[in-house]
Structure 1
Amino acid sequence: MDLIVYILILLSTGAFVGFASGLLGVGGGFIMVPVQYFLFTAIGLDPDTSLRMAFATSLTVILPTALNGAWGHWRRGAVLVGPAILLGLTGLIGGVVGASISSYTPASILSFIFGLLALGSALWMLGSSYPEIIENPSNTRQSYLLWGFMGGFSSGLLGIGGGVVMVPLLNLLLKFPIHKAIGTSTAFIVFASIGGIITYIFTGINATGLPPYSLGYVNLLQFLVLAATSIPMALLGVKAAHRLPGEKLKYIFAALLVYIALKMMGVFQWLNLPL
């Protein structure tokens, strides 16, 4: 693949991911993982190594992107700090556990799990009636700690920020208004991604056949190119999110999840569709 095309793919992916992160409170791993997996396999890496590097590098991009998005949401009063910290504490632990399991699991299994998780989240959002919303919800600490761990586990296991799981949980189960669900999820992602990043670095430190400029399973070159556009675009996504009504945000989020789920589960390939 031509180097210029390779870089342009990464830059455009980073821009889209940054905007989606700010707009929907997701890390953007569900976009970066399939794109990076394609690029890593295109340069000759085996599928298992390619998927782990896609997970690890995506999480590394997600961290500064989520920091920028969380700052923008916090300035608009859309981050509930107490819940975000509780979710993040166990989210970090869950990220370590998920990444540890992912480092030794076949790529085909992880891709299918990734798709099922995204599809389940989308159907849950689309099938639920719009919930009774509490402007400042008072859930128990135990509930935040439990769901934080589950979100962090999915983050580490699948190289996503955890927002794919966290936004529906906060909005539908814990009764957060959609804008605060997105803002608080973005702050949670900062914690969740750290655990996964550290684990992927250590589990991949002695791996063989990695491309140049890799720190464990994290490829630093792809990180820099993706982050160059994802970080500034996150604030544009935040601005767009606060201009859209909550119901529209819910359906945009769900539609994106359905597409990514079908893509990762291989449905388009099975139907011979170029999507």
Structure 2
Amino acid sequence: MELVIYLLILLSTGAFVGFASGLLGIGGGFIMVPVQFFLLTVMGADPDTALRVSFATSLTVILPTALSGALGHWRRGAVMVVPAILLGLAGLMGGVFGAGISSNTPAAILSFIFGLLALFSALWMLGSRYPEIKEKPSNSKESYLFWGFLGGFSSGLLGIGGGVVMVPILNLLLRFPIHKAIGTSTAFIVFASIGGILTYIFTGMNATGLPSYSLGYVNLLQFAALAGTSIPMARIGVKAAHRLPDKELKYIFAALLIYIALKMMGVFEWLNLPL
């Protein structure tokens, strides 16, 4: 694969996930992971190594993208600071555990789990109706710690930000107004991704077969290309979140997630479909 095409795919992917991150409060890992995995395997990388590099690099891109989005939401009063800190600290620990398990699990199992969660998230996005909530949420510290750890664990395990999991939890279970759920979720992602990133760097230090310009399992070339477009697009997405209905993008994103889910689970291969 030519370097120009390789970089153009990464730059385009970063732009899309950055906008989606700011608009919908999600990290974009469900898009970045399979794109990187496809590129690395086409270039001859071992699937186990390729998937871990994809997870680690995805989280590394998600960190500054989510930070950019969280600052934008915070300026608009959409981040509940104390819940975000509690969720985030628990998420950081969950990210460490999730990434540690992922670093020692075969790619076939991780890919199937990734596909299942992507499919669940797509169906949730299509079928859910976020209720209008005006009262201030009142939840225990223990509930924030529990859900934060769970979201962080999924983040570290599968290289996703955790927003697809956290936004419905905050809105439907913890009764956050939807804009505050999105803003607080974006802040949570900042914390949750850090634990996974550090763990992937540490566990990948002695790994073999890594692509060039890698720090542990984090590939710095892919990070630069993805982050270069995702960070500015996250700011545009934040502005759009407070001005435009997100229904159309939600449908497009959900359809793309369904395709990715079936691809990562190997369904097309089982059916002998060239997709």
Q: Fold conserved (TM > 0.5)? A: yes
CA contact (8 A) 1:125 1:172 kept: no
1:208 aligns with 2:208: yes
Measure, in 1, the Cα distance between the counterparts of 2:179 and 2:266. 32
Measure, in 2, the Cα distance between the counterparts of 1:72 and 1:129. 25
CA contact (8 A) 2:132 2:178 kept: no
Match for 1:111: what amino acid?
S
Match for 1:24: what amino acid?
L
CA contact (8 A) 1:132 1:175 kept: no
CA contact (8 A) 1:139 1:174 kept: yes
Instruction: Please name the residue that 1:243 is paired with.
Output: 243
Secondary structure of the residue aligned to 1:48 is helix
Q: How does 1:55-204 map to 2 (within 5 A)?
A: 55-128=55-128, 130-131=130-131, 133-204=133-204
Measure, in 2, the Cα distance between the counterparts of 1:133 and 1:249. 22
Shift of 1:241: 1.2
CA contact (8 A) 1:241 1:249 kept: no
Q: TM-score, normalised by structure 2?
A: 0.93
Unpaired runs of 5+ residues, structure 1, are: none
RMSD (CA atoms): 2.0
Shift of 1:179: 1.5
Shift of 1:244: 2.9
Match for 1:3: what amino acid?
L
Shift of 1:260: 3.7
CA contact (8 A) 1:24 1:253 kept: no
Percentage of pairs with the same residue: 83
Instruction: Please name the residue that 1:48 is paired with.
Output: 48
CA contact (8 A) 2:10 2:225 kept: yes
Shift of 1:121: 3.3
Instruction: Please name the residue that 1:220 is paired with.
Output: 220
Q: How many residues are matched?
A: 275
Shift of 1:157: 0.1
The Cα offsets for residues 127-170 of structure 1, whole Å up to 9 and x where unpaired, read as 45544624421111111100000000000000000112111111
Match for 1:69: what amino acid?
G
Instruction: Please name the residue that 1:15 is paired with.
Output: 15
Measure, in 2, the Cα distance between the counterparts of 1:108 and 1:195. 24
Measure, in 1, the Cα distance between the counterparts of 2:35 and 2:234. 19
Shift of 1:274: 6.1
Q: TM-score, normalised by structure 1?
A: 0.93
Match for 2:191: what amino acid?
F
Given the superposition, is the C-alpha separation of residues 5 and 121 from structure 1 closer, same or farther in structure 2, using an over 3 Å criterion?
Answer: closer
CA contact (8 A) 1:96 1:195 kept: yes
Given the superposition, is the C-alpha separation of residues 249 and 9 from structure 1 closer, same or farther in structure 2, using an over 3 Å criterion?
Answer: closer
The Cα offsets for residues 54-109 of structure 1, whole Å up to 9 and x where unpaired, read as 00011001100000000111111111111110100100000000000000101111
CA contact (8 A) 1:155 1:193 kept: yes
Measure, in 2, the Cα distance between the counterparts of 1:248 and 1:76. 23
